[in-house]
Amino acid sequence: MSDKSFNAFQMAQEQFDGVAKKLDLDQATRELLRNPLREFHFSIPVRMDDGSIKVFQGFRVQHNDARGPAKGGIRFHPQETIDTVKALATWMTWKCAVVDIPLGGGKGGVICDPHQLSEREQEGICRGWIRQLAYNIGPVQDVPAPDVMTNAQHMLWMMDEYETIHHGRYPGMITGKPVGMGGSLGRTEATGYGVIFTLREALRELGIDIQKTTASFQGYGNVAQYAVRLYQEYGGKAVCVSCWDQNDQKSYTFVRKSGINCDELLSITDRFGGIDKAKARQLGYEVMDGNAWIEQDVDILVPAALENQITKDTVTKISDKVKVIAEGANGPTTPEADVIIQEKGIFVIPDFLANAGGVTCSYFEQVQCNMNYFWSKEEALSKLDAKMTDAYLKVSAMARSRNVYMRDAAYMIAIQRVADACKIRGWV
């Protein structure tokens, strides 16, 4: 969100246009799917701790719900824009379709910085957001979830406000709740594990032994932490992670050729995900610039932090040794960089397939809430493995049969499924 010239929604539309041409979609379907069905812009007045009233700007975008209720997170970010929200809602539609869960794409946001707000002020924003949308979201309409700088507590305040307005219990109206209050076991691990389930299948198809591979991860938030953990459980060696430093307002890369230790790094990580540089050096880590993760001499790159990271400028820094890129983040690779990656012959597991573990487990949470019966962690994660593996194999088969890039294959499957749903409903 920092690059002012980068427009995520334009990128999402460009990607869609390219695939629509390959699928030979009719004009009406193209027009329907390249824009959201609904957009909500609203003001949220909140009484601050000092007694003043501050007005925050909020958004919700429902891109397409032909296959089921919209689904997607709510972000709190000082630089949030409607274009970012529209792009993420669009990608959510394709993400739900590619893993074949009966949901559509949505996304929400509030322009605010939670670091500068008290708990009570954050609660005011959460409840105000719901009051503005109480009749436009819900278990059979649109199911929100946590995203950047929102968490389980925020979701619970939102659920409570929704239930107060509707005079009932509706735990399936929102996901990402605490376990014991309608949350699903396995949800914390889901996105990171999903990335590695797809990576495991890709390496198997490529004839590469995962135990002989090395990987570099961008990020050390929830996604990267669990991805590193599972990757190392499978016998791979993670040699690098990066993180954002709240104090310096910049990112750093931490490299240790002998392999990183998740628990060791977590013990020196602050609540914002920043790793203590001095302590890391004492533990034998080399501390480098934040972009150094992409230059590592490894077999696998896992961008698991922000969008717009592998660009036409940074893609040239990728080592010739890299064989696979597994996109844990949303939109980390620009279309210009994609062209160069294809020329280099690097195998890509595209973002909305690789990181769909989160929304898949959110769907599981919704299912459990709606039937009021909850699964064990093992059951949730084994269902996740089955869903992610099946989705990966279908995309990989399409890529081979149509001789197309993996990203295009994933888009072709997803967009065709949504287009078919719109047609069958008689929308186009």
Query: What is the Cα–Cα distance from 245 to 163, expressed in whole angstroms?
Result: 38
Radius of gyration of the chain (CA): 21
Average pLDDT over residues 152-160: 97
pLDDT for the residue numbered 71: 97
Query: What is the Cα–Cα distance from 84 to 351, expressed in whole angstroms?
Result: 16
Q: How wide is the angle at C-alpha 398 spanned by C-alphas 394 and 403, nearest 5°?
A: 155
Q: Percentage of the chain with pLDDT > 70? A: 99
Query: What is the Cα–Cα distance from 328 to 218, expressed in whole angstroms?
Result: 9
| Collapsed DSSP state (helix, strand, coil) of residue 340 | helix
Mean of the per-residue pLDDT values for the chain?
A: 94
pLDDT for the residue numbered 417: 98
Residue 121 in tokens: 């002020």
- Taking CA atoms, 412 is separated from 16, 140, 246, 350, in Å, by 9, 27, 39, 12
Greater confidence (247 vs 90) lies with 90
Average pLDDT over residues 73-87: 95
Residue 254 in tokens: 């931490």
Domains for the chain: give ranges and CATH numbers: 42-183 (3.40.50.10860), 188-354 (3.40.50.720)
Residues 216-232: tens digit of each pLDDT: 999 998 899 999 999 99
Query: What is the Cα–Cα distance from 244 to 251, expressed in whole angstroms?
Result: 4
* 199 contacts: CB under 8 Å, gap ≥ 6: 210, 231, 300, 302, 324, 326, 349, 354
pLDDT above 70 (res 1): no
Residues 266-292: tens digit of each pLDDT: 999 887 778 999 999 999 999 999 899
The answer to whether the beta carbons of residues 306 and 329 sit under 8 Å apart is yes
- As a dihedral over the C-alpha atoms of residue 244, residue 247, residue 248, residue 249, rounded to 10 degrees, the angle is 50
How much is the pTM? Answer: 0.91
DSSP state of 13: H
Average pLDDT over residues 44-56: 98
User: What's the first-to-final CA gap in the chain, in angstroms?
Assistant: 34
pLDDT above 80 (res 2): no
Residues 3-49: tens digit of each pLDDT: 556 788 998 998 899 999 999 999 999 999 999 999 999 999 999 99
pLDDT above 70 (res 314): yes
Query: What is the Cα–Cα distance from 29 to 422, expressed in whole angstroms?
Result: 8
Catalytic residues: 107
pLDDT interval class at 248 (50, 70, 90): confident
Query: What is the Cα–Cα distance from 326 to 171, expressed in whole angstroms?
Result: 33
pLDDT interval class at 335 (50, 70, 90): confident
Average pLDDT over residues 375-390: 97
pLDDT above 90 (res 359): yes
pLDDT for the residue numbered 4: 59
Q: Find, among 393, 245, 212, the residue nearest to 253 by Cα.
A: 245
pLDDT above 70 (res 258): yes
Average pLDDT over residues 76-82: 94
